[in-house]
Amino acid sequence: MNKVFQNLSFALVLSSFASFVFAATTTKVTVNGMVCAFCAQGIEKNLSKLSSTKAVFVDLKNKIVAVEAKDGMLLDTKIIQKEIVDAGYDVVKLEDSQQSVADIKATMKGKK
């Protein structure tokens, strides 16, 4: 019985650790209403102020905002969504990504 409890405890700790290690590092947001560089600059400035934010990329053409978490931190998608909505834009879609903001930026630049 004790051995079963130890194995179960180890499995729970391991699964918790794995979910943290493989947690999304970036949140990609599809946003409607951004039409100019001023729009992009405002969103980028506000999201960059969040304590867990490492990097932000705004792509007006593709209507994408990408927010990358600092190492060891998690992003709160509700706060990201609130910041964008409070700025006057519509959040169409939120998705987690393992890509860095730099990778997303390179991919978007390649599409142009």
The neighbouring-strand residues paired with 32 are 90
Could you tell me the pTM of the whole model?
Answer: 0.76
To which residue do tokens 């006057």 refer? 88
The count of other CB atoms within 10 Å of the CB of residue 91 is 18
How much is the pLDDT for 1? 56
Q: Is the distance from CB of 34 to CB of 63 less than 8 angstroms?
A: yes
> In this structure, are residues 26 and 102 in contact, taking their beta carbons and an 8 Å threshold?
no
User: Domains of the chain: which residue ranges?
Assistant: 23-111
Domain 23-111 fold? Alpha-Beta Plaits (3.30.70)
Please give the chain's pLDDT, 112 residues, in tens.
555 445 445 444 444 444 344 455 999 999 999 999 998 999 999 999 999 999 999 999 999 999 999 999 999 999 999 999 999 999 999 999 999 999 999 988 887 5
Q: Is 63 helix (H, G, I), strand (E, B) or coil?
A: coil
- In which order are the strands placed within the sheet that holds 53-59? 53-59, 64-69, 26-32, 90-97
